[in-house]
Chain A
Amino acid sequence: DTAVSQTPKYLVTQMGNDKSIKCEQNLGHDTMYWYKQDSKKFLKIMFSYNNKELIINETVPNRFSPKSPDKAHLNLHINSLELGDSAVYFCASSQGGTSGGAEFFGPGTRLTVL
């Protein structure tokens, strides 16, 4: 049973397209996160949601928007994709508040923008 799942695992698309990455957790956790890992392995938090409320919103471009239809899901929508958006995107979840940090991660989605 997968705790945190992401779809798709790989995404190849053209510049200018709009795409979404889905994330689901079956742990009953209160908080979910999105992270970006660039080609140099550098990790950066993008968003976190606690009980459907955005808690942390890093200075990411507004082309990126998180959508949480319910506590178990936090999807990532990206508009007008750019070459620099190529990275691995991780979804994660945790029990309790956002300051406690991510406990379980999804397998990651490797996004390649051509």
Chain B
Amino acid sequence: NAGVTQTPKFRILKIGQSMTLQCTQDMNHNYMYWYRQDPGMGLKLIYYSVGAGITDKGEVPNGYNVSRSTTEDFPLRLELAAPSQTSVYFCASSFMRNEQFFGPGTRLTVL
């Protein structure tokens, strides 16, 4: 099993550009999550999903959108990139509320 995979690993965006961060898990987990982690800080939940077709806002959802059309995939969309969205983005999955498995992260810089 590959676990949780994220693409891309790194990305530089210009202000106002859009992009989609991809996340795929092959563990048949029903729960999936998106976090952002600013330098030296903890994890902030952006959005999460408890199953295909169901998504919910986390602590910091503004400026982001998600969809969950399949169990495996949970893409995160940034519509109008802003410098405040410079961060490391982690996707994670779990079976119910059990241990979360994290992907390797996407390091995003917005200039």
| A and B co-occur in one complex | no
Give the interface of B toward A (CB within 8 A): none
Give the interface of A toward B (CB within 8 A): none
